[in-house]
Each structure stands twice: as structure tokens, then as C-alpha cells.
Structure 1
Amino acid sequence: MPAVTRVRLRPVVGLAIALTVLCVVLAGCSAYAVHADWTRWALMDRLVSDPGAVGDAELGRAESLIGLAGSVQSRALIVTCAVFVVWFHLVRTNARVFASGSDEPTAGVAVGARFVPRGKLWLPYRIAATAWVSSRPLGAEDGSRRFPSTLVNVGWGAFLAARVLGWCGGMASSLAESPDAVRHAAAAMLVGDVLDVVAAVLAVLFVVRLTAMQWSRSAQEPAVAAVRL
């Protein structure tokens, strides 16, 4: 193999496996939150229809379920996002090796974009899309093998929509002064948590596919594979 200097691919397979497991756990936690949201919505629906049909004990259990689901889901989300940021930084570094000389965002931006106001809404998407394109394995005919970017588009859209609906539902719930208002807040949180499940599943597909693409690309360009993925 030719001597390699300064060019070095980052190993991402082990981290991708850990991230995949975390995304599956997050999807399970979000599914549990969907159950809690549905329970709360159904309870408020009964309360609106017949105030005497729901007792204080049942209301207390529903609120405890919501609190537990929210706590578990938020902790799983924090851990998953932290690992995702590390993996995202590494795959972006590798993508710049594959597309050396391009003016695409740097790997540092892949981390910092998560903490820039407003920019965090579109910078991670742009970085993910460019990393996806740069990591496509080389083909025998047109120089690149086509891979759809649907995972990037739909997954990022679902994640953003889930965050917005979760925030709106939480605010509406804290300000609600009637069972009907609580029911509407629960509906918003329910849709948001469903989207969280969708986003987690698509994140698994994105992580697995992009990692596999970079593995295949590194095998096609051994001169840059100082460290195999």
C-alpha cells in the first residue's frame, strides 16, 4: 500500500454499533411516551364527556405515567444525542478526506452546529447531506453509485417536528386550566412522540448506511485508509 502522510480516516464502526443500540432504546422510550400520552388523552376525553367518570386516583396514575415516560425519554435522548454528535464529527472528518479540496463545512462545524442558535436548525442537515454525498462509494460507470438522500431529509424533518410539537405540547400542558385544554396538549405531545419514534428508526438506518458507505469507500481508496474503519 502506498505510504500515507497526514491523511487518516477515523474508525467509526464501533461507535456506530453503540449509537444504533442507543437509537433503538430511544425508540422504545418514545413508544412508551406515546402510550403515556394516549392514556392521558383518553382520560381527558372521558373527563370532558362525563366529569364524574374519572376519579382522582386515576388522574394521579396518568400524571405519574406521564412524568416517568418524560424522564426516561429525555435521559435517553440526551445520551443518544451526545454519542451521535461524536459519531457525526468522525464521519464528517472522513467525508472531507473522501472529498478533499472541497469547501464543505469542517468537522468542527458538525459539532458546533448543534449549539448555534437558529443555525442548529439547518447546519446539521447541510452537513449530513454533504457527508452523505461525499461518502458514496465509487462506481464503475459514472464515478459514483447513487444513494437516496431520503433518510437525511425525512429523518431530520421528523426530528425537528418532534421537538417543536413536544415543546408546544409541554407549554400548553403547563398553561392548561381545563380538561379540554389538557386533552389538546396531550394530542400535540402524542404526535410529537410518534415522530420521535420515526426519527429514531430513520436515524438507525442513516447511521448504518452512512457507516457502510464509508467502509466501502475506504476499501476502494486504500491510499487514504491509513486506519481502516
Structure 2
Amino acid sequence: MFFVFMQSGGTLFGYAHEAWLPRFLPEDWQPVGRIAAMGSLVLLLVWTHRANCNARALGASGLRFTPGAAIGWYFVPIAWFWKPFQAMREIWKASSRPADWEDRQASALLGWWWGLWLLALWGGFLAQEVTIRKWGTVGAAAADFGRAIFAIPATLILIAIITNIHRMQTDHYLGD
């Protein structure tokens, strides 16, 4: 309730002109969002590196992506549109059945995750450029909302992917 009161500038109780009431604008939250995004990216990269190492330790051989390459492709222009997806698909397949991983099918979750991620990231950047020029801060907020429509399901699917790969690797490690 306090946040709603502060966000409204105190107008709920007639304090709209009090100088001590801060306003929380979208640009005030950008540093928080960027820090959270960078932290999440670091965690994803560390996990991807470890999952690739684990797949190799469980007996998967002939993997095309080394642990370093699996994370490095996120930073190579143009290739970042498909190589990270291929690396994650390879980790999924190798975790599913390390001995004969190449013949395995990857889950459709991977395609959904990557498609939604690309829409959220690149579509959001394009939408933000267009809307900021035309509508300013309101346009930026609308673009952020549009990005979230794709980013939230992409994140939930990524959590499911990580959970499944972890479960598959743990099952193979324990011999189940």
C-alpha cells in the first residue's frame, strides 16, 4: 500500500504538493533492472559452463561446443542469434543420454525459450527506439511492458530447461 501511495505522489490522501514525497519514474528503476539482468546473465553463463562440463564428465563425447564456446557465443555478433541455442540444445541432448546423445531429440521447450528470448531482447530494443522517439518516457514504459510479455515466459521456460537438465544429469550421476 505504501508503494501505491508513494507512486501516486500522495494524491490518495490529498498530499500531492508535499515536497518530501518522492516520485518513482521508469528511468529511476533502470539501474535496478540492469543490475538484475547482468546478475542473471552471469548466473546463466556459469550454469551453462558447468552443465557442459557435467555432460562431458557423464560420458558424452563428440560435443561440438566446449564449455567456453557454450558461453562465448552469447557475445559474438550475428552468431548470437543461433549459436547459444545450439549449445543449449547440445547440453540438453548430452544430458538426456550421454552415451548416445547425438541421436536424441531435444525438448521443444528449447525452441520456445530461444524464440521468446529473441523477441524480448531484440524486438524490445527495436520497439523502444521507435516509441521513445515518438512518445518519450511513456513510449519507453510501453516498450518495457511489451518486452516483459515475451521475457517473462522465456524466463519461466528457461527455469524449466535448467531444472530438467539438472534432473537428467543428477539421475545419470546417481545411476538411476
TM class by smaller structure: 0.7 to 0.9
Q: Which residue does the alignment assign to 1:216?
A: 171
Aligned to 2:131: 173
In the other structure, the counterpart of 1:99 is: 60
Q: Distance in 2 between matches of 1:204 and 1:188?
A: 24
Of 202-211 and 89-98, the range deviating more from structure 2: 89-98
Contact map agreement 1:162 1:192 (CA 8 A) in 2: yes
Aligned counterparts of 2:131 and 2:29: Cα–Cα separation in 1: 15
Structure 1: 5+ residue stretches without partners: 1-56, 58-62, 222-229
Q: Do the aligned partners of residues 103 and 84 (structure 1) sit closer, same or farther apart at CA in structure 2, a change above 3 Å counting?
A: closer
Distance 2:56 2:64 in 1: 8
Query: What residue identity is the alignment partner of 1:168?
Result: L
CA drift at 1:106: 1.1
Deviation per CA, 1:190-212, whole angstroms, max 9, x where unpaired? Answer: 22111111111111111111111
Shift in CA distance, 206/170, structure 1 to aligned 2, threshold 3 Å: same
Verify: 1:200 aligned to 2:158, yes or no: no
Alignment coverage as a number of residue pairs: 154
TM-score by length of 1: 0.58
How far apart in 1 are the matches of 2:132 and 2:143? Answer: 13
- What is the SS of the residue equivalent to 1:135? helix
Structure 2: gaps spanning 5 or more residues: 1-16, 18-22
2:109 pairs with one of 143, 151, 163: 151
* Structure 1 residues 67 and 78, CA gap change in structure 2 (3 angstroms): same
Aligned partners of 2:67, 2:29: CA distance in 1, in Å?
A: 34
The one-letter amino acid paired with 1:154 is W
TM-score relative to the length of structure 2:
0.73
Match of 1:66 among 7, 21, 26: 26
Say whether residues 1:124 and 2:79 are aligned partners.
no
> Percentage identity across aligned positions?
26
Structure-2 separation of matches of 1:150 and 1:69: 34
Pairwise CA distance, 1:72: 2.4
Q: CA deviation at 1:68?
A: 3.2
How many Å separate the matches in 2 of 1:195 and 1:81? 17
- Which position in structure 2 is the counterpart of 1:38? none
Cα distance in 1, alignment partners of residues 124 and 30 from structure 2: 10
Counterparts of 2:131 and 2:35, CA distance in 1? 20
Q: Is the 8 A contact 1:162 1:196 kept in 2?
A: yes
C-alpha distance in structure 2 between counterparts of 1:65 and 1:85, whole Å? 31
